[in-house]
A and B are shown apart, each in its own frame.
With several copies, the nearest count.
Chain A
Amino acid sequence: MSKIKIEDVNLYYGEFQALKNINMNIKENEITAFIGPSGCGKSTLLKSLNRMNDLIEGVKINGRMLLDDVDIYKDIDASVLRKRVGMVFQKPNPFPMSIYENVAYGPKTHGIKQRSKLDDIVEQSLRAAAMWDEVKDRLKKSALGLSGGQQQRLCIARAFSVNPEVILLDEPTSALDPISTMKIEDLLVDIKKNYTIVIVTHNMQQATRISDKTGFFLHGEVVEFDDTEKLFSMPENKKTEDYITGRFG
Chain B
Amino acid sequence: MDVLRRRKTISLILKLTVWFCGILTVGILIYILLFILLRGVPKINMEFLFGEYNSDTLSAFSSVVTTIEMVIISLFISVPIGVFCAIYLTEYAKRGNKTVKVIRLAVDTLAGIPSIVFGLFGMILFVKLLGFRASVLSGICTLSIMILPLIISSSEEAIKSVPDMYREGSLGLGAGRLRTVFRIVLPTAMPGILSGIILAIGRIVGETAALIFTSGTNVLKNPTLDLMASQRTLAIHMYMLASEGLPHSKEMAFATGSILIIIVFLVNYTTTKLAGRIGRLSDE
Contact = CB atoms under 8 A, between A and B. Distances in A.
Interface in B73-125: 94-95
Given A106-B174, A109-B173, A111-B7, A93 B283 contact: no
Nearest to A92: B165
B278 to A, nearest CB: 10
Interface range on chain B: under 10, 10 to 19, 20 to 34, or 35 or more? Answer: 20 to 34
A57 B174 CA distance: 19
A109 B173 CA distance: 8
Interface string A144-177: 1100000000010011011000000000000000
Contacts, number: 88
A97 B171 CA distance: 16
Interface stretch (B39-47, B181-189, B236-244, B256-264): B181-189
Contacts of A83: 173-174
Contacts of A78: 174
A156 B180 CA distance: 19
A145 B171 contact: no
Contact of B176 (A79, A86, A142): A79
B34 interface: no
Interface string A169-202: 0000000000000000000000000000000000
B172 to A, nearest CB: 4
Nearest to B1: A80
Interface range on chain A: under 10, 10 to 19, 20 to 34, or 35 or more? Answer: 20 to 34
B282 A97 contact: yes
B183 A105 contact: yes
B171 A77 contact: no
Nearest to A54: B171
A80 B4 contact: yes
A158 B283 contact: no
B282 A79 contact: no
A72 B6 CA distance: 22
Contacts of A77: 4
Contacts of A52: 168, 171-172
A74 B168 CA distance: 21
Interface string A50-88: 101001010000000000000000000111111100110
Given A80-B4, A95-B169, A110-B3, A142 B174 contact: no
Contacts of A96: 166, 187-188, 281-283
B56 interface: no
A162 B170 CA distance: 12
A145 B174 contact: no
Interface in B116-155: none
Contacts of B175: 79, 105-106, 109
A55 B282 CA distance: 26
Nearest to B169: A93
A108 to B, nearest CB: 9
B165 A91 contact: yes
Nearest to A58: B95
A111 B3 contact: yes
B174 A79 contact: yes
A162 B282 contact: no
A13 interface: no
A148 to B, nearest CB: 13
Given A79-B174, A141-B284, A158 B169 contact: yes
B179 interface: yes
Contacts of A132: none
B163 interface: yes
Interface string A88-103: 0101011111000000
Contacts of A79: 4, 7, 174-176
Highest count of chain A CB atoms <10 Å: which of B7, B95, B173: B173
Contacts of B282: 96-97, 142, 144
Contact of A144 (B6, B170, B283): B283
Highest count of chain A CB atoms <10 Å: which of B4, B166, B174: B174
A52 B282 CA distance: 25
A94 B184 CA distance: 11
What are the 10 closest A-B residue pairs judged by CB atoms, nearest first?
A: A111-B3, A96-B282, A93-B165, A83-B174, A82-B174, A142-B284, A87-B172, A106-B173, A109-B175, A144-B283
Interface of A: 50, 52, 55, 57, 77-83, 86-87, 89, 91, 93-97, 105-106, 109-111, 141-142, 144-145, 155, 158-159, 161-162
Interface of B: 3-4, 6-7, 94-95, 163, 165-166, 168-176, 179, 183-184, 187-188, 281-284
22 contacts: A52-B172, A79-B4, A79-B176, A82-B171, A82-B173, A82-B174, A83-B173, A89-B165, A89-B169, A91-B165, A93-B163, A93-B165, A96-B187, A105-B170, A105-B175, A109-B174, A109-B179, A144-B283, A145-B283, A155-B169, A158-B169, A159-B172
